[in-house]
Amino acid sequence: MESFNIHQAKTNLSKLIERVLQGEEIVISKAGKPVAKLSGLAAATRPRKLGCLKGEFEIPADFDNPLPDAILDAFEGLEE
């Protein structure tokens, strides 16, 4: 991780951002002490589009019926 003083960072901000886009992290120092870090942001995710699978599958009528005892026992560690 390379360090730049504030003046260098202001003068070369565009170049430093290009380096960050390549995966580097840049430390900015004031009076020789690190005070900030330039790093990349995670890619923003697109908002989910509701209803995009409409008509692709059907929820069974018994979807929310209670589970059989054997399956409940397995979840609770009671199976033999």
Q: Is residue 76 part of a domain?
A: no
Spatial contact of 17 and 25, defined as CB atoms under 8 Å apart: no
Count: domains in the chain: 1
Q: Which domain holds residue 11?
A: 2-38
Tens digit of each residue's pLDDT, the chain (80 residues): 899 999 999 999 999 999 999 999 999 999 999 999 999 988 778 888 888 889 998 999 999 999 999 999 998 888 66
Query: The whole model's pTM is what?
Result: 0.52
Tokens of 26: 């840049």
DSSP string, 16-53: HHHHHHTT--EEEEETTEEEEEE-PPPPPPPPP-TTTT
Q: Is residue 65 part of a domain?
A: no
Q: Is residue 78 part of a domain?
A: no
CA distance 22 to 34: 22
Phi, psi of 29 (to 5 degrees): -115, 150
Q: CATH number, domain at 19?
A: 3.40.1620.10
